[in-house]
Structure 1
Amino acid sequence: MNIVRPKKKLGQHFLKDQNIARKIVDSLGTTEPNVLEVGPGMGVLTQFLLERPELNVHVIEIDKESVEYLYQNFPALENHIYSEDFLKFNFPDLFEGKFNIIGNFPYNISSQIFFRVLEFRNRIPEVVGMIQKEVAERINAGHGNKTYGILSVLLQTFYQIEYLFTVSEQVFTPPPKVKSAVIRLVRNDRTDLPCDETLFFKVVKAAFNQRRKMLRNSLKEICIDLPAEYAEKRPEQLSVDDYIELTCGIENQIKKTGHAI
């Protein structure tokens, strides 16, 4: 097999610029030897990952045609290729300890990939991913920015975010209709939240699901008696620390009223 056909239903846009591929791989630090590449396609990143002897490279790919190509062209990956769906894959079956993630993430599931990263954040110290530029800007946005949203808050709670560089549409086959960007996530020092984690996620999602409303309205299903300093604010006005403090306040109110979280 000489080539893999990009499949629209899988959101495949194969990077063809070797210099950018090397630059992406060079952006991955050496915090952990174990590396999982998501959606390697025809291995444009894989080839450079395998040039780094300190790395223990594994790849996960849902496209059967790509899997066949990887087996034929990357014998060094023998027993390290997983023909699986990343969003459903059981990571404990792969690595016993920590592992980094890298990839040219399919645009149609990039947000879901990051929610999966959050789920296993204590095992994933670093992520380098190429995604839609708009999504990268949203993840990196600070509070007060109109693009600041759910992923911004949740990822910034547990990771330091770096917007590394923008990538033109013309370096892909087929070219996407939007620009791309490469970002890096590095796990921060926050291990536990001072509030209930499930409630924290619920508060952030509920706030931004009605982002044009003041918090006293968007969060009324969670807490009627919202802390006064937040009631008249809109979701994009709160920093990560504000959301943690707000959730602590809501949790205290729930405990007082006896309502379950």
Structure 2
Amino acid sequence: MKRVRAKKHLGQHFLNEPAIAERITESLSTPPAHVIEVGPGMGVLTQFLVKRPDIELQLVEIDTESVVYLHKHYPQLQDKIIEGDFLKLDFQKLFPGKFSIIGNFPYNISSQIFFKAFENRHQVEALVGMVQKEVGRRITSGPGSKEYGILSVFLQSFYTAEYLFTVDEHVFIPPPKVKSGVIRLLRNDVEKLPCDEKLFIKVVKAAFNQRRKTMRNSLKNIPCNMEAIKHLPVFNLRPEQLSVEGFQELTSLIQEHPLCE
């Protein structure tokens, strides 16, 4: 069967270097067991994953042409290939229990994949993915960096995040216009944040949506008795100066000073 045609609207750039593919799959070392590969395309990662006895593998692919290719080349996965949009899947219904995610993620939805992992953090134990280098740096960066942002804080609250290596443009068909990066997330021991998680999400988003402003200005629309606490040093900081734990402490502080009824 001929190669699958890369489709621009799906953000497809097929990795054409087996050594890099093998290195990516080897980066998913622990925990093994149930693994979901997102966007396998022509199976450049799949060819190595199917050889691992420690993995129960399922594939999720939205491209019909790729699904036909995978069925033909991986007959042992016939009932393990899900044709559909990964972002719309009901994880609890389709994948009961915990699992890991791996994939060469389409650039146009890579951030959304990580947001979905964050929303399903009680199921997603680990994630290894190739993304646009800029996105990889954003997820794994710490405070003080210009890349540090909403995804950094959300994901690093529940995962250890590592930037593993950079992949050049020329090993893809067609080659993208930017470099790629492979990152790994491993679930930490945090089951519940020491603050209200819904408020935490609001605080982080509000802060980074106006990242050039100080916390005093960017959080002025967060419901709380700001007059009572705005003199504290934390409100003189910009969001990139505050650690993950700092955002949690700030959220707790806001919780402790509700608006008077």
Would the TM-score normalized by the shorter structure come out above 0.5? yes
Matched, 1:231 2:235: yes
Q: CA deviation at 1:147?
A: 1.2
- Number of the residue aligned with 1:9: 9
- Structure 2, unpaired ranges of 5+: none
For 2:142, the aligned partner's letter is G
For 1:148, the aligned partner's letter is Y
Structure 1 residues 133-172: aligned runs within 5 Å: 133-172=133-172
- Number of the residue aligned with 2:260: 257
Structure 1 residues 123-134: aligned runs within 5 Å: 123-134=123-134
TM-score (normalised: structure 1)? 0.96
Q: CA deviation at 1:76?
A: 1.0
Matched, 1:44 2:48: no
2:173, 2:27 → 1: CA distance? 23
SS of alignment partner, residue 43 of structure 1: coil
Please give the per-residue CA displacement for 1:71-99, whole angstroms capped at 9, x wherever unaligned: 11110111100001011101123222110
Q: CA deviation at 1:138?
A: 1.1
Structure 1 residues 1-261: aligned runs within 5 Å: 1-222=1-222, 223=224, 224-225=226-227, 226-227=229-230, 228-254=232-258, 257-258=260-261
Compute the RMSD of aligned alpha carbons: 1.1
For 1:166, the aligned partner's letter is T
Kept in 2: contact 1:32–1:98 (CA 8 A): no
2:252, 2:67 → 1: CA distance? 47
Kept in 2: contact 1:100–1:125 (CA 8 A): yes
1:49, 1:35 → 2: CA distance? 9
Please give the per-residue CA displacement for 1:47-75, whole angstroms capped at 9, x wherever unaligned: 10001012100000111111111111110
1:92, 1:153 → 2: CA distance? 24
Kept in 1: contact 2:32–2:54 (CA 8 A): no
Q: CA deviation at 1:232?
A: 1.0
SS of alignment partner, residue 118 of structure 1: helix
For 1:236, the aligned partner's letter is E
For 1:209, the aligned partner's letter is N
SS of alignment partner, residue 178 of structure 2: coil
Kept in 2: contact 1:153–1:240 (CA 8 A): yes
1:203, 1:20 → 2: CA distance? 39
SS of alignment partner, residue 76 of structure 1: helix
1:135, 1:31 → 2: CA distance? 24
Q: CA deviation at 1:257?
A: 2.3
TM-score (normalised: structure 2)? 0.96
1:75, 1:214 → 2: CA distance? 56
Q: CA deviation at 1:32?
A: 3.3
SS of alignment partner, residue 85 of structure 2: coil
Identity of aligned residues (%): 60
Moved more, 240-249 or 224-233: 224-233
- Structure 1, unpaired ranges of 5+: none
Q: CA deviation at 1:28?
A: 0.5
